[in-house]
Amino acid sequence: MEIKNHLKTYVIIALLSSGITLGAYSLLNLGSSHTIGDAPSAFTSSVSNIQNVPGNPGEFTFAAEKTTPAVVHIKTKMTARQSRQSSSPFDDFFGFGDPFGGRRQQAPQTQEASGSGVIISSDGYIVTNNHVVQEAEEVSVILNDKREFKAKVISTDPSSDLAVIQIKAENLPFLTFGDSDALRVGEWVLAVGNPFNLESTVTAGIVSAKGRQNIIDRDGDTNPLESFIQTDAAVNPGNSGGALVNLKGELIGINTAIYSRTGQFAGYSFAVPVSIVKKVSSDLIKYGNVQRGFLGVSISEVNAKLAEEKDLKSKDGVYVGGFSENSAAKDAGIKINDVITKIDGTDTKSSSKLMEIVGRKRPGESILVTVNRDGQTKEFKVTLKNKDGNTSIVKGDVGESTKSDFLGAKFGTISSADKEKFKVSNGVKVIEVLADGRLEMYGLSKGSIITKINDKAVSDPKEAVQLLEARKGRIKLEGVDVDGSRFIYVL
């Protein structure tokens, strides 16, 4: 059961651009010649000489000097289109008008925005926020030493608001992953990023809370992965995707959102904990999408009212109120009215903590769930399932594309996150719109989904291109634009 948080009304995601201009744009699709295992990275390296780190409250120079070289400035370009009606008198005569939407033409305008990112491997993998790059047609990365590179978006995960991009570079400085579980309320932390296009900015604060949830409205996402670290370190637009580090200079979070009535910092900021960052970024690099394990339970936090109403013998934990179809928890023997008190020995006093722990696991992995049932402690070994109710690992075809010369576009496969976001069961994703092509003329944007070609459902990019090449006469396209609106075009 979702618990509403009144803070949510005032949270402004740091998607706000630090600058918007008009100009030309182009999309560069960079290849990848390395994997995360080929070079030193946050996944395999540790901080050396930890015993020599000052770490005294108020002593920030060590962490600042260690962190700033590995935090990058990200600039993006995207096209916004303004609708206008065609003046051609032949449109309706030849059937280009409604209901097929052929009259809609849009004048493209290029917008620029900026954010931050954190290098996690010496060969150029960078973690940032999904909202920094999700609609970008061109991504540039400026390093601390002022070198600039074009970047490739490896993959994104809207549910956690994380993304991985990569630049072609070697021997880069990178941050190692710390332990966000060990982070304590009141501990000093630094936020490093590029607010307002001010590069390499460091601010300090303390951890003011952990496990915050229901912070960001994710456009109908039914399974957001939220367990934010709340700090009072100053974060502003442009800090999105930047580093939250401890005084050892270890990455303990990715700065994502601020609490504000005005869009500027008002005392609180929120970061995705590194326990989630590590899992999500590893999956995006290895599989092309996030492999998320599910318990398959409806949950709510235990409070005095619920404990009295359900006659619960435990006043701490997460209440099991129901099960999904093919529930892993139900199959393992967990029952309604059980109170989950621990997972793998870690206390689960909040729903967000439970979701965070489970969110680190993949389908097929097992966890030990401790429950309080009528005052007795019981343990269950639960093998997690995916959303389809099985334990399969599903790979994405990230980076692969098929070009359609007829439409002037490149297609890729759609992810499970795309299916959730656009509420479709099939389709191909437009991952590039080529200049002067038919799709650009009709105003379809990068990121839109084509679900049908000539009334035939499509799911494979190669199949979509084959249908276009085998066309006889007009082509009818159906799908969903990036803003969620449905379209039907006849070309």
211 is in an annotated binding site: no
161 is in an annotated binding site: yes
Rounded CA gap, 476 and 456, in Å? 10
217 is in an annotated binding site: no
Per the residue annotation, which of 18, 41, 116, 240 is the catalytic one?
240
Does residue 298 have an active-site annotation? Answer: no
Rounded CA gap, 213 and 166, in Å? 29
Rounded CA gap, 191 and 238, in Å? 12
Per the residue annotation, which of 17, 131, 155, 283 is the catalytic one?
131
Does residue 161 have an active-site annotation? Answer: yes
240 is in an annotated binding site: yes
155 is in an annotated binding site: no
Per the residue annotation, which of 161, 232, 283, 338 is the catalytic one?
161
Does residue 374 have an active-site annotation? Answer: no
Annotated binding site: 131, 161, 238-240
Question: Catalytic residue positions?
Answer: 131, 161, 240
Annotated binding site for substrate: 131, 161, 238-240
